Amino acid sequence: MLYLNQLGMVCPLGNRLEEIRRRMFDAAGSGVTPVENYLPGRVLPLGRVEPSFPLPSLDEFPLPDRSRNNQLALAALAQIRPAVERAIERFGADRLAVVIGTSTSGIAEGELALREFAQAGTLPEHFHYGQQELGSPAAVLARTLGVSGPAYVHASACASSAKALASAARLILMGACDAALAGGVDSLCAFTVAGFAALESVSATRCNPLSRNRNGINIGEGAALFLLSAEPATVSLRGWGESSDGHHMSAPGWRWNGRWHGRRLPARRWNISICTARRRCKMTPWKRAWFTGCLATG
């Protein structure tokens, strides 16, 4: 059995777990605020990590590693680094994997650079194409920790960090490593905000997921990293399910096996596919699950 031994997190609610927990249950402390920087001519409620939250300096890092996305990842790592280093000492530097999910990496730095290029005709000296590389967060975390185990990134939009946890678990179970630093990080950028706005998926107010009155999502940023191993802890990872119907890049199909039609299909379809996947990896029965995560983007 695998366990989530440690958690480091930074998000619009805070940069310490107790602070995040307190503000999570405070209706007035969502961390979502009106912002106009990311979509010209339109103010949207976005979840930004507050400037008052200190992020690690990147001055000593090479230019390709200097992105806000990597700063968020390093801030999350700092909270659990002593435990991660104990795992490295116990298992060895080659037995710790780093598996991260991200969909943005350093896109924001690229946007600023292209804006300057449009005005001045040259790219700024502080920009490097490597800042945009999707694999950057895993590489930076691995180098920071001095580990040589598997290190890579999943980039599958909203599923990225969930896939990273599943992937890290498989690495441990197959014997490729003994522990893993796994989770996700994304930073706000105009590309993401404009993309969801073009899909008419964003809400003009604070979002109201799973409600009949829902009208879209709020885009945000943050990082969450787990130390995953077979060392017993309070929270265990009992299994996972992964599925894709390949119908459309932003929506499941309306038809399945020629029998189902209409917008109520996706919930039933995903339930069936995930149930199949959970049987394959021998997941804990639903009645014994303490927590269920749900992606509600509409």
In a domain, residue 286? The reply is no
Q: Given the DSSP bridges, would you call strands 179-186 and 96-101 parallel, antiparallel or unpaired?
A: parallel
Q: Given the DSSP bridges, would you call strands 151-154 and 179-186 parallel, antiparallel or unpaired?
A: unpaired
pLDDT tier, 255 (very low <50, low <70, confident <90, very high otherwise):
low
pLDDT tens for 272-282 read 444 445 555 55
In a domain, residue 264? The reply is no
pLDDT tier, 52 (very low <50, low <70, confident <90, very high otherwise):
confident
Alpha-carbon Rg for the chain in angstroms: 20
For residues 112-126, give the mean pLDDT.
Answer: 95
**What is the phi-psi region of residue 262: left when phi exceeds 0, alpha when psi lies from -120 to 50, beta otherwise?**
left
Using the structure block, give the residue that is written with the tokens 């059995």: 1
User: pLDDT at residue 209 above 90?
Assistant: no
> If you average pLDDT over each of 174-188, 194-208, 254-268, which comes out highest?
174-188
Nearest CA among 247, 250, 274 for reference residue 260: 247
pLDDT of residue 132: 94
What does the buried/exposed string (b/e) look like for 274-293 if buried means 16 or more CB atoms within 10 Å of the residue's CB?
Answer: eeebbeeeebeeeeeeeeee
In a domain, residue 123? The reply is yes
- Residue-range definition of the domain harbouring residue 167: 2-240
In a domain, residue 207? The reply is yes
Give the total number of structural domains in the chain: 1
Enumerate helices (H) and strands (E) in the chain, giving the number of each: 7, 8
In a domain, residue 257? The reply is no
> Which CATH number characterizes residue 79's domain?
3.40.47.10
pLDDT of residue 222: 96
In a domain, residue 295? The reply is no
Strands of the chain, DSSP E? 2-10, 32-35, 44-47, 96-101, 151-154, 179-186, 222-229, 235-237
In a domain, residue 94? The reply is yes
Nearest CA among 96, 87, 68, 86 for reference residue 221: 68
Q: How many residues does the chain have?
A: 298
More confident residue, 286 or 36: 36
Token representation of residue 84: 């991660």
In a domain, residue 62? The reply is yes
pLDDT tens for 221-236 read 999 999 999 999 999 9
Nearest CA among 80, 88, 91, 61 for reference residue 5: 80
Nearest CA among 9, 3, 145 for reference residue 79: 9
Element (H, E) at 114: helix 107-120
Separation of alpha carbons 201 and 210, rounded Å? 14
